[in-house]
Chains A and B, each alone.
Chain A
Amino acid sequence: MNTRHPGKLKYCLNALLLIAPAWFFYASLTPPSTPDPWPAQTLGSWSMAPTPADINPPYRHDGALVKDFRFHLCPGCGAQVRTAIARVASTAPALDAKIEGVIHGHGDILEAHVPWPEELTDEHLLWITAQDWSGAIHHASWPLPSHRD
C-alpha cells in the first residue's frame, strides 16, 4: 500500500469484514455442544427423551416465546406416533386443533417449537401428550431447567 496516500488504505479496510465468513466457516466445523438429553420416559409402548436444541433462552416468534426441543424416540418408534404435542403447562395438555408445539420430523429423532410462558412458575413442566394409532393417549412430563438444578 502506498504510504504517501493513507486514503487508499482506508478504502481497503472493508476487506477486514471478510474475516467474518472465514470465522463463521471455522465455527461451523466446530459446532457448540448441545445440552444433555433429559431422562427418557415411557409413553405407552415407546420411550422419549427431550433435549433442548441449544443453551439459549426462548426466542420470540410471532409475538410469542418459543423454545426448540429435539425428542429422541426408541428405534422405530417415530412411526408409532399418530400425533404428539409438547407444551409448557401446569397440567397435561389435551390434543386440540392447534399445531403449536406439535412434534414433527422424520424418523426417530423429532423436534418441536415449544410455546413458552412469559413467566415460569413452579407448577410449569414440559408436558408431552401423545396418541398412538389405536387412539390411546399417553402423557409424560419433565421439570424445566430452572427447577431441575
Chain B
Amino acid sequence: MASLNRKRWFQIHGWLALPVWVVFCFVCLTGTIAVVSHEITWLANPAARAHNPDDLPRKPLPELVDAVREAAPQAHIADIIVLEPYLVTAIGIRTPDGLPARAYVNPYTAEVQAIAGGPTFIGFMRSLHGWLLFPWHHNYSVGYYLVAAMSLVTLGALITGVVIYRRFWRAYTRPQLRLGSGLRVFMGDLHRLTGAWSLWFLLIIGTTGLWYLTQAVLWHNEVDIWNHPDPVPLTDVPFTVDGKPAQPIDLAEALERARTALPSIEPSYISLPEFSRGHISIAGSGENWLFDQYAYRAFVDPWSGEIAQLRQPASMNALQILSHIADPLHYGTLGGLWTKLLWFVFGLLLSAMSVTGFVIWGRRTTREAGIRSAAKRSPALEEVRT
C-alpha cells in the first residue's frame, strides 16, 4: 500500500513539472541571470563601473545631480537610482524631445560617464524573467501570471519530492552520485542530490513566487497595498509676482528632512515631483536588512518641506511587509554580492533539475515501454514482471 502511495506521489511529481518543464527551465534560467544582471552589466559596460582607486567617500546626491545638469543642461531630472557600491548612480532624465534616458554618474567623483536611452540589460532580464515580455494591459500581464504560477509547480515539486525521496536527509550525510552506472542512474542521483540540497532554495523561491501570484491578483483587481499620500493642496502651491516658476526646496533639504524622520535611511531611489502638487519621494533601505531598498520611504512636500507620509517596516501591515521582503529573498540581494552568487549557483541547479527530471522520466518511459514490448513477445516475462 505504501508502495502504491509512493507511486502515486511520484506520478503527481511528474504531472506537476513535466507539462511545463521547458518553460519552467527558461524561467529559472532567466531568473538566475537576472540575479547577477547588475554584475554582468559591470563586466560588460565600462561606463557602468564606479571606479574609486583613491577610496573616496560617496559624494552627496545633489552634487551628482548638479553634474548631470552641467553635462546635459537641456535635460530634466526625473529620478535617481543608487546602485551597488561598484556601480554608477543612475540619474533618470527626460531629453528635450521627451525621451527617457539615464545618466551614469560615478558616485565618488561625480563624473558623468555616459548618457544613454533605451532599455538596459538589467531591465530586459527582469522583464524577460518576470513576465516573459508579455505586454501589460494597464494592471495585468498574462506573462506575469504565467511566471508567478510556476511557484505552484515549485512548491508542488518540493512537497511531492520530499514525500517520494524517503530519508532525503541522507543526501546531506552520505551524498551519492554514481558516475559509472549509466545516464539514468546518474541523472537520478543528480536530481535527488540537487533537490535535497536545494530544499531551502525551492521553499524560498516557491513562497516568494506565490506572493508574486497574489500580488498579480491584487494588481488585477486594483487593490492598493499602499495608500498614497494626498497631493499637496493647490492652495499650498505658491504664486509668483513676476510669473516665473516658484522654486521648491532643493534636494539636499528634502534629503535632510527624510533623514531626520527616518534616521537609518540609506536612499536608493528618489523620484522628483511630476506636477506641482506631487511629493519628492525618497525611498531607501534601513536598519532592517530583511527588507528591500524601498522599505523606508518619506514623501516630502516640495514647498513646505513637511513630511506628508512615512513608511517603515515597524508600521507596515502583513501585505506591505510581504511586498518589501519578497524581492530580497527571491533575488538573493539581502546579503549583497555573496548571497547573489549563492542564489546564482542554486538558480542554475534548479534550472538543471527540470532537465534531469525530464531525462529521468524519458528514460523510465523508454525502459517501461521496452519491457511491455518484450512482454508482448514473451508472456512469461509479463508474468515475472507482475
Indicate whether A and B interact: yes
Write out the residue numbers on chain A whose beta carbons fall within 8 Å of the beta carbon of B244.
133
Are B369 and A5 in touch, CB under 8 angstroms? yes
Are A133 and B245 in touch, CB under 8 angstroms? yes
Are B366 and A104 in touch, CB under 8 angstroms? no
**Given A18-B23, A108-B98: A132 and B222 within 8 A (CB)?**
no
**Given A106-B76, A108-B96: A24 and B133 within 8 A (CB)?**
yes
Write out the residue numbers on chain A whose beta carbons fall within 8 Å of the beta carbon of B277.
83, 99, 102
> In the assembly, what is the distance between CA of A96 and CA of B76, in Å?
27
- Distance in Å: Cβ of B70 to nearest Cβ of chain A: 18
- Distance in Å: Cβ of A121 to nearest Cβ of chain B: 26
Interface residues as binary, A17-45 with B (CB distance below 8 Å gives 1, 0 otherwise): 11011001100100000000000000000
- Distance in Å: Cβ of B106 to nearest Cβ of chain A: 23
Write out the residue numbers on chain A whose beta carbons fall within 8 Å of the beta carbon of B137.
59
Write out the residue numbers on chain A whose beta carbons fall within 8 Å of the beta carbon of B98.
70, 72, 107-109
B interface, over-half SS: loop
> In the assembly, what is the distance between CA of A8 and CA of B363, in Å?
10
Within 8 A of B (CB), among A110-131: none
- Distance in Å: Cβ of B276 to nearest Cβ of chain A: 5
Write out the residue numbers on chain B whose beta carbons fall within 8 Å of the beta carbon of A2.
362, 366
Asked if A88 is at the interface of the complex by the 8 Å CB criterion, the answer is no
Are B19 and A11 in touch, CB under 8 angstroms? yes
Interface size on B, residues (CB 8 A): 53
Asked if B241 is at the interface of the complex by the 8 Å CB criterion, the answer is yes
A interface, over-half SS: mixed
Are A14 and B22 in touch, CB under 8 angstroms? yes
**Given A5-B366, A14-B22, A75-B96: A20 and B143 within 8 A (CB)?**
yes
Contact partner of A103 among B143, B275, B361, CB < 8 A?
B275
- Distance in Å: Cβ of A51 to nearest Cβ of chain B: 11
Within 8 A of B (CB), among A53-77: 59, 61-62, 70, 72, 75
Are B20 and A14 in touch, CB under 8 angstroms? yes
**Most B Cβ at <10 Å: residue of A4, A82, A104, A109:** A82
Interface size on A, residues (CB 8 A): 44
Within 8 A of B (CB), among A91-109: 95-97, 99, 102-109
Contact partner of B132 among A21, A107, A133, CB < 8 A?
A21
Task: Mark the stretch among B160-168, B208-216, B229-237 that contacts chain A.
Answer: B229-237
Asked if A90 is at the interface of the complex by the 8 Å CB criterion, the answer is no
Asked if B134 is at the interface of the complex by the 8 Å CB criterion, the answer is yes
**Given A24-B134, A134-B240: A62 and B275 within 8 A (CB)?**
no
> In the assembly, what is the distance between CA of A55 and CA of B366, in Å?
53
Are B234 and A80 in touch, CB under 8 angstroms? no
Write out the residue numbers on chain A whose beta carbons fall within 8 Å of the beta carbon of B94.
105-107, 109
Contact partner of A107 among B19, B96, B138, CB < 8 A?
B96
- Distance in Å: Cβ of B171 to nearest Cβ of chain A: 26
Asked if B265 is at the interface of the complex by the 8 Å CB criterion, the answer is no
Are B275 and A4 in touch, CB under 8 angstroms? no
Asked if B371 is at the interface of the complex by the 8 Å CB criterion, the answer is no
**Most A Cβ at <10 Å: residue of B137, B139, B274:** B274
Asked if B272 is at the interface of the complex by the 8 Å CB criterion, the answer is yes
Are B76 and A107 in touch, CB under 8 angstroms? yes
Asked if B365 is at the interface of the complex by the 8 Å CB criterion, the answer is yes
CB nearest to B358 among chain A residues: A11
> In the assembly, what is the distance between CA of A28 and CA of B135, in Å?
9
Write out the residue numbers on chain A whose beta carbons fall within 8 Å of the beta carbon of B139.
61
Contact partner of B369 among A4, A17, A20, A25, CB < 8 A?
A4
> In the assembly, what is the distance between CA of A8 and CA of B242, in Å?
77
CB nearest to A75 among chain B residues: B96
> In the assembly, what is the distance between CA of A18 and CA of B277, in Å?
44
Are B369 and A14 in touch, CB under 8 angstroms? no
Write out the residue numbers on chain B whose beta carbons fall within 8 Å of the beta carbon of A25.
133
- Distance in Å: Cβ of A22 to nearest Cβ of chain B: 8
CB nearest to B24 among chain A residues: A14
Asked if B346 is at the interface of the complex by the 8 Å CB criterion, the answer is no
CB nearest to B25 among chain A residues: A15
- Distance in Å: Cβ of B384 to nearest Cβ of chain A: 23
Closest 7 CB pairs of A and B: A109-B98, A104-B274, A134-B243, A24-B133, A15-B22, A104-B275, A107-B76
CB-defined A-B contacts under 8 Å, sample of 5: A25-B133, A61-B138, A79-B245, A82-B237, A133-B246
Query: Which residue numbers of B lie inside 8 Å of A, CB to CB?
Result: 18-23, 26, 75-78, 93-98, 119, 128, 132-135, 137-139, 143, 146, 222, 231, 233-234, 237, 239-246, 272, 274-278, 358, 361-362, 365-366, 369
Given contacts A5-B365, A104-B278, 8 further A-B contacts (CB under 8 A): A12-B22, A14-B22, A18-B23, A21-B133, A82-B237, A82-B245, A83-B275, A95-B234
